[in-house]
Structure 1
């Protein structure tokens, strides 16, 4: 048994429990008959719906979103034919859709710099079995957290970044992650990600920004908040796009502060918000609870 497996004795049992479970995500123009058609299709193929959530932006010409969990005996063997057969339904309703096996845990790469609080929250939730994912690696531009990460049995890659070496550093990061991870998490990774890297992981890079967006975009948001004299501070987890701190928002939270709190106090309070907000966003993504439409997310939580 590997060191990583020792930290999660419940993981293998959880995978066995979900071996025949799948999740379907659907988005399409709203019209009558969608739910009935999907439910009938799954029934005819011997599936049992465990959970179903739906949302419509506007019944008259709006978009419809749906998440379904279902069990199907011998799912792994039947999944390809199920997907092929479903095209008859999806074509009729102009659907964008995906089916995911619940037993296949998503592989996550966590990018960090020097601050450890967001990384630690992810590691603790992973260790407790509350994060249904495999943390495959941690990539950092500093060596500071190698001992911490390796104590969990997780690979740690030090990729230094300077203005002169940024292109080479990102090339190394792509080599480490391409085909090996499903999600990249920027856990207070204080570097700008290039458009090429973002394109490679479209809607699969989650960042934590230490303000309640769209307020205080960019660097030193706590200083900006202090200078403005805010009474609330917050944190925002969002998908990364080429627009700085402008991607689809996944989750946010806030905490009340006062004029007595200096910048360091705001940072201290903010660290707690950041770690919780990021962990929620990552959890929802790996459990296939998020659908992106334009620059918004629909979160079935």
Structure 2
């Protein structure tokens, strides 16, 4: 709807106020609620909402869980965040997947798209689900249908969560990027990188200082995996489960590595085919072979006498 001259002036005055007021005032404006409890930022016109987000969110986009770090070490900190602009990414994805002549994704192409997104369905289940996703029954997926699919299936109709890994050292940052890029690791198994930021980005550095994270000059933004290794280990101990792994848990086999790996697990290969099927090397692009860093374990007693598992000597293995 076209705005009148008076409305345009009022909108501009509001934008100027939001940009110039102290952060505490911007936050108060955003969180002002009506009688039903709905906050102003959720009811505002797009221009006002974006202006408020630019003042309140990290990089104008992310709401960091700063008080609940997932992991912290001497050189990095990992924390979750809500990505308030995820829909923009979904729309960009749609443009990449859609047929440019029709601005739609065909049914066959959408099945391939699901694999790219890490969603695997058998043919029967895909047909059942597609009938729901294809709301206009055109046998294609429109942009709005794709956005709805992403919000339902990827976000469970919740705010989109991502994970930030903030790092102090450039070499650690470079390893995060290179491990994925050089080894062409599949995002179905290894957490990918949505965005990366470094010390050459003045906007990023300013946002770090405002968030009291100035000691970290590098960061990657990754999808929020449903479960991390620590969660899996603590809840399931001896059982195998699914999870998305960090790249440092993946080893690319080179030279005699395959022979060394198979020698180490020779007894498993003979006596436990089901286990071997889970841990044996997987072949990916260009015939490259990868393994998840896995160890045979032995049970020992801790200081309280309770049994715990620890890796046996891993000297014969091609990784540490």
Structure that is richer in strand per residue: 1
Please indicate, yes or no, whether the TM-score normalized by the shorter chain is above 0.5: no
Q: TM-score, normalised by structure 2?
A: 0.22
Looking at both structures, which has the greater relative contact order when contacts are Cα pairs under 8 Å and sequence separation is at least 6? Answer: 1
Structure with bigger gyration radius? 2
Structure that is richer in helix per residue: 2
